[in-house]
Structure 1
């Protein structure tokens, strides 16, 4: 839950960036001997396609994460999504994200994703549509990731209800939608619910902080 709680403030920052943002892959840090090639646009952030590059590098997963932690210093967040380790950086121009997996004990591979905030959301489907969003909750971020192996979606929200009320809403709502609760993990002011339905899994993470409930909903194919 720690990575999730650190990610929310930077996500909010990205929502507030102006439409004048401009960056490209010349600005994206690369490790020595990193082999990079273009990929199709199979990731969306808030309905905006993220341009992508695939890469392979002679470095461990931890070495890749350490490299970008050093390059981006304090403006970096680490999360997991759809089987990928994610490294997120946001500056005044754009958002850069590295999604990386270990190929073996010597090599890692993944993709470099870059996007500028959209100028307008007019005519687009509401953020969070089709996902379980409690009444009154604010959708902060809506990310989709589709590849040949699996499809995934991750939605971040802020809610006004307390942790217990939010938990009760998700337990009732997901049960009504046919989801089966597989596990529940509780910590002080934090809760993770794991569900399954057919070939899909869904994880709901709740964190109570600063008088609001932060919600992370992650849905993906098995």
Structure 2
């Protein structure tokens, strides 16, 4: 796998590969992708399914960065919106995809919004940052707090989504990707930042500093014993 093709998110390329394998041959005309740095995900979905893809990000710097990355892409549009309050009509999307982007303190509101914009029987592919232990040490909690994360306990994940009327099709434990993610992402982000102008570079520098802190905790302090990643593919129950 070439580094230029790496999806620089927890889970790397494994989550979108999981999606493509499970939904091969399906028709997905309208797709919503949630989160910054999801442009390569969107491209892969367009190439595989011929979809029209909307990406939403929550801050202006991510919006500008994303627009630049997709400037030559077809069938992809990016907008700035709150994940828990979009302006899309009800039952609009055939698939909603979120890779490590909604394991947040406002997850419940985000899931409610995803249910609203997803068609009955539509697909939801999510990569959730999870806690591998119910009680985590202070340095792990600091990582969560600094990123507004509220990871669920891994063993509670299926129950959480079942209670919200999602039917599980398949799931995959992607925790093994996190070590590689932290190892390669800093190098890749540094390479990108070196080629950018000062304004764009400052955005990446903030990202790099955040990842350096998380990487140190994960690779050197033992956070890998407490933090995992699980991908799930589900359908919204017909109501």
TM-score range, shorter chain: under 0.3
Give the TM-score normalised by the residue count of structure 2: 0.27
Higher RCO structure, 1 or 2 (CA under 8 Å, sep 6+): 2
Larger helix fraction of residues:
2
